[in-house]
């Protein structure tokens, strides 16, 4: 956190992508052991909400100050992405659904340019284009291609929700009253849990799966350990770092870096689940990484992004601002 705002934001964004990418490798053994996929999603979101509930209580004033932001983040960025993605999986191949969801950064650039009427840098646009091509290689979209119209629409809906994840995470950064990103993430997961409860029907969960073991990398791992990873790392840590990274960078740059989640998920599946990693997937991973590097080079740290508490660059109590550039490591 003593680094420049740009480097710190990029590092946090990479942590978020890696954390999100580790969800599938821990959740898949539980699903193969008999846990319903929607129940897995509910446990993930509800567990994350429980872990972050102290942050929600600490920032409870956000309920009065930013109710629309919290509702939008919970309904769209949390529940919407999960619900539409899993609905699309029921109708189209996994790789196609994943690619459609990660069109979110490209849709985000269109939203920023044509709806918000803000400039989009060439580097961010080029990075998004390269990342989408790389994702197509990572998921090997040409394998078993079968497009169901409704499934495609559901996948695009997941992409729209993912795009608005970055939009909602960036809300308030242009105004005087900036909502704390930790509070936004905490309340988003709580509201998402309430929505997913109506969809997933958690009272029908087969709890015996969590009490047993599941196979991971040839070893029997307790179900609660796998669930703990999904909740603590792939949800709580992932959402916290994701929201903070948007504040440190920008929605357009953070969105492209987030595409690395698919690469992380593919590599972990290769290492821990024994899934084959082909040459096109390796090339696709390199393209996604290259796209992220191109996008993040488009701008320096946001001048309006509030530094974390205690970091050089915060406004002193006496009202004298500290020059960020003079305090970087």
In a domain, 46, yes or no: yes
In a domain, 151, yes or no: yes
Q: Find, among 122, 231, 111, the residue nearest to 165 by Cα.
A: 111
Give all strands (DSSP E) within 99-218, no chain letters. 213-216
Q: Is 33 exposed, middle or buried (0-12, 13-18, 19+ CB in 10 A)?
A: middle
Nearest-angstrom CA–CA distance, 8 and 188: 24
Residue 295 pLDDT > 80? no
Residue 298 pLDDT > 70? no
Cβ distance 84 to 196 under 8 Å? Answer: no
Phi, psi for 140 (deg, rounded to 5): 50, 65
Give the chain's domain count. 1
Sign of CA dihedral 270, 214, 17, 114: positive
In a domain, 20, yes or no: yes
Range of the domain at 102: 5-203+223-301
Residue 318 pLDDT > 60? no
3-state secondary structure of 321: strand
- Proportion of the chain above pLDDT 70, given as a percent: 82
In a domain, 318, yes or no: no
Residue 34 pLDDT > 80? yes
Longest CA span, the chain: 63
- Residue 49, CB-side half-sphere exposure with 13 Å CA sphere: 20
In a domain, 312, yes or no: no
Residue 45 pLDDT > 90? yes
In a domain, 47, yes or no: yes
Nearest-angstrom CA–CA distance, 75 and 314: 32
In a domain, 72, yes or no: yes
Cβ distance 266 to 211 under 8 Å? Answer: no
Nearest-angstrom CA–CA distance, 311 and 317: 14
Q: How many CB atoms lie within 10 A of CB 142?
A: 10
In a domain, 214, yes or no: no
Q: What is the mean pLDDT of residues 36-46?
A: 91
pLDDT band at 316 (very low <50, low <70, confident <90, very high): very low
- Proportion of the chain above pLDDT 90, given as a percent: 30
Q: Find, among 84, 1, 23, 60, the residue nearest to 324 by Cα.
A: 1
């Amino acid at each position: 956190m003593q680094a420049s705002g740009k480097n710190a934001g990029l590092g946090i964004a990479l942590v978020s992508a890696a954390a999100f990418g580790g969800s599938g490798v821990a959740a898949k053994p539980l699903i193969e052991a008999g846990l319903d996929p929607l129940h897995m999603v509910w446990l993930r979101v509800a567990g994350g909400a429980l872990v972050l509930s102290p942050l929600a209580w600490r920032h409870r004033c956000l309920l009065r100050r930013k109710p629309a932001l919290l509702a939008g983040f919970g309904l769209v960025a949390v529940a919407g992405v999960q619900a539409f993605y899993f609905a699309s999986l029921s109708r189209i191949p996994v790789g196609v659904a994943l690619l459609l969801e990660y069109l979110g950064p490209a849709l985000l650039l269109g939203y920023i340019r044509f709806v918000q009427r803000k400039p989009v840098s060439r580097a961010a646009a080029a990075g998004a284009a390269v990342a989408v091509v790389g994702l197509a290689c990572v998921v090997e979209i040409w394998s078993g291609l079968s497009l169901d119209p409704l499934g495609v629409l559901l996948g695009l809906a997941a992409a729209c929700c993912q795009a608005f994840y970055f939009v909602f995470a960036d809300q308030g950064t242009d105004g005087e009253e900036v909502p704390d990103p930790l509070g936004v993430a905490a309340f988003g997961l709580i509201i998402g849990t309430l929505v997913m409860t109506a969809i997933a029907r958690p009272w029908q969960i087969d709890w015996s799966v969590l009490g047993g073991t599941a196979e991971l990398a040839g070893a029997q791992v307790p179900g609660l350990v796998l669930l703990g990873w999904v909740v603590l790392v792939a949800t709580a840590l992932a959402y916290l770092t994701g929201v903070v990274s948007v504040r440190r960078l920008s929605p357009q740059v953070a969105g492209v870096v987030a595409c690395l989640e698919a690469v992380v998920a593919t590599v972990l599946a290769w290492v821990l689940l024994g899934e084959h990693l082909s040459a096109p997937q390796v090339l696709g991973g390199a393209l996604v990484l290259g796209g992220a590097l191109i996008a993040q080079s488009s701008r320096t740290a946001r001048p309006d992004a509030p530094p974390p508490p205690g970091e050089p660059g915060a406004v002193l109590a006496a009202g004298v601002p500290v020059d960020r550039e003079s305090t970087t490591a």
